[in-house]
């Protein structure tokens, strides 16, 4: 028996594999602090759960319209119009299985074999995987610590060719927590327009922001018609297991998104969509409280890491990850992460799980309790004290 040849080109998300490895170690009795998982440790707020339960009891258990229930499409359009600063009509909104669904449909709908797609490096590994899967060519755009993990615009210019079709942006970013400024986005928008690129703007961490403003590139002049916005409920509302995301697309892409939804999932779970309506239209204090707690954890982990010789960590403005450089310990990111789990019981990801650029980095998620973060910091300090090669 044989697989289709395109299966040779599909990648993966090593966070899930790292989590499985950490759990296997745990099953042998070892205490592990999990800093590999990119999901809020909070429960979904009670009002959202109650709305979904109510919908179940009211019999909202049938197929929904493929693009989403009208109430949710309207709530998303209204929310996006306010928070992202562009006029969004409900017809442009497609409810998807996770934010990941948006990635799949955007890349399926737009990338032809041989098309080049600019992807952030370090960046979420599924962009690259899906581009390759469709026969496209991912072109890494390096994001460097020295530049606050923002795009280097001069470098970006040199990477655009006549084959470039799409540019993927992710701000606030996984894995670095970096945030693009309004000025960055204005210059990127000018390039996208000049070279007729489509932008896939992954804004899934848009509300997990500690400093500055969240700017959607789609709100800049000339960009709404060439931007696919990816957003969702997983991170903002601690709803990772619900698998609920959404796309906001220009009118010319609506047909394609509809067809791809019908061909893949038919629609997203109907009663869950009622929970999502409550998420957007109900009180937002749970989101504010979660972001305030993430901020305290960010400061705890950044200060703790910077107190360890050989580790340098920026203070990210968004998301819930830190991406420290650990080359001062004499180890590569991959060796550091492997040994940290085996020898100190802290599960982290190598920077190279996010592309080829960040060999000297690891990613730690601080979506974990302050007590566990403290425990992890103590273990990292002891581990580094033991293994570090003095410079
Ligand atoms: N985009 C980025 C940058 C992410 O980090 C993630 C999840 O980790 C997603 C999209 C996918 O989100 P969802 O769980 O809603 O599919």
For 312-336, write each residue's pLDDT tens digit. Answer: 999 999 999 999 999 999 999 999 9
Ligand 1 centroid–CA 100 distance in Å is 6
Backbone angles phi, psi at 377, to 5 degrees: -60, -40
Output 36 or 16, whichever has higher pLDDT. Answer: 36
User: Which of 10-14, 157-161, 250-254, 257-261 has the weakest average pLDDT?
Assistant: 10-14
Output 93 or 19, whichever has higher pLDDT. Answer: 93
pLDDT digits (tens, 9 = 90+) for 228-264: 999 999 999 999 999 999 999 999 999 999 999 999 9
Ligand 1 centroid–CA 234 distance in Å is 7
Classify domain 5-43+285-383 by CATH number. Answer: 3.90.1150.10
Exposed, middle or buried by CB within 10 Å (0-12, 13-18, 19+), for 390?
exposed
| 175 in contact with ligand 1, CB cutoff 6 A | no
CATH topology of domain 51-281: 3.40.640
Nearest atom in ligand 1 to the alpha carbon of residue 123 is 3
Q: Looking at residue 391, what is its pLDDT?
A: 58
Nearest to 72 by CA among 260, 242, 290: 242
Q: Is the peptide bond before 34 cis (omega within 30 degrees of 0)?
A: no
Q: Looking at residue 15, what is its pLDDT?
A: 81
CA separation for the pair 215, 57 (Å, rounded)? 39
State the average pLDDT over residues 95-103. Answer: 98
Q: Is the peptide bond before 56 cis (omega within 30 degrees of 0)?
A: no
Nearest atom in ligand 1 to the alpha carbon of residue 97 is 16
CA separation for the pair 306, 63 (Å, rounded)? 51
Q: Looking at residue 390, what is its pLDDT?
A: 60
Residue located via tokens 């060999």: 359
Q: Looking at residue 13, what is its pLDDT?
A: 86
CA separation for the pair 71, 57 (Å, rounded)? 18
> Domain map of the chain by residue range?
5-43+285-383, 51-281
Ligand 1 centroid–CA 8 distance in Å is 23
């Amino acid at each position: 028996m044989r697989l289709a040849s395109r299966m040779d080109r599909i990648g993966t998300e090593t966070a899930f594999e790292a989590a499985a490895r950490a759990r296997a170690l745990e099953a042998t009795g070892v205490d592990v602090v999990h800093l590999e998982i990119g999901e809020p440790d909070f429960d979904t707020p009670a009002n959202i759960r109650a709305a979904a339960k109510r919908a179940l009891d009211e019999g909202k258990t049938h197929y929904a319209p493929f693009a989403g229930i009208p109430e949710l499409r309207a709530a998303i359009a209204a929310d996006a119009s306010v928070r992202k600063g562009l006029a969004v009509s409900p017809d442009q909104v497609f409810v998807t299985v996770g934010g990941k669904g948006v990635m799949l449909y955007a890349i399926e709908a737009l990338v032809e074999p041989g098309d080049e797609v600019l992807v952030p490096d370090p960046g979420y590994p599924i962009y690259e995987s899906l581009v390759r899967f469709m026969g496209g060519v991912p072109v890494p755009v390096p994001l460097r610590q020295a530049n606050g993990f923002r795009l280097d615009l001069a470098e970006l210019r040199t990477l655009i060719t006549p084959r470039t079709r799409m540019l993927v942006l992710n701000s606030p970013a996984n894995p670095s927590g970096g945030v693009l400024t309004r000025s960055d986005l204005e210059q990127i928008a000018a390039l996208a327009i000049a070279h007729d690129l489509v932008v896939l703007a992954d804004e899934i961490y848009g509300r997990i922001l500690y400093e500055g403003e969240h700017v959607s590139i789609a709100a800049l002049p000339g960009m709404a018609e060439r931007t696919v916005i990816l957003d969702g409920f997983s991170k903002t509302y601690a709803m990772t297991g619900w698998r609920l995301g959404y796309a906001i697309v220009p009118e010319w892409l609506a047909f394609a998104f509809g067809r791809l939804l019908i061909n893949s999932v038919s629609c997203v779970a109907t009663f869950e969509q009622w929970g999502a309506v409550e998420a957007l239209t109900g009180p937002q204090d749970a989101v504010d409280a979660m972001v305030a707690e993430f901020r305290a954890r960010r400061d705890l982990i950044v200060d703790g890491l910077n107190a360890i010789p050989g580790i340098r960590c920026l203070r990210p403005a968004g998301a819930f990850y830190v991406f420290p450089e650990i080359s001062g310990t004499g180890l590569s990111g991959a060796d550091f992460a492997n040994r940290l789990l085996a020898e100190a019981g802290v599960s982290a990801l190598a920077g190279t799980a996010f592309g080829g650029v960040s060999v000297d980095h690891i990613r730690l998620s601080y979506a974990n309790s302050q007590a566990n973060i403290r425990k992890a910091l103590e273990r990292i300090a002891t581990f580094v004290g033991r293994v570090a090669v003095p410079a």
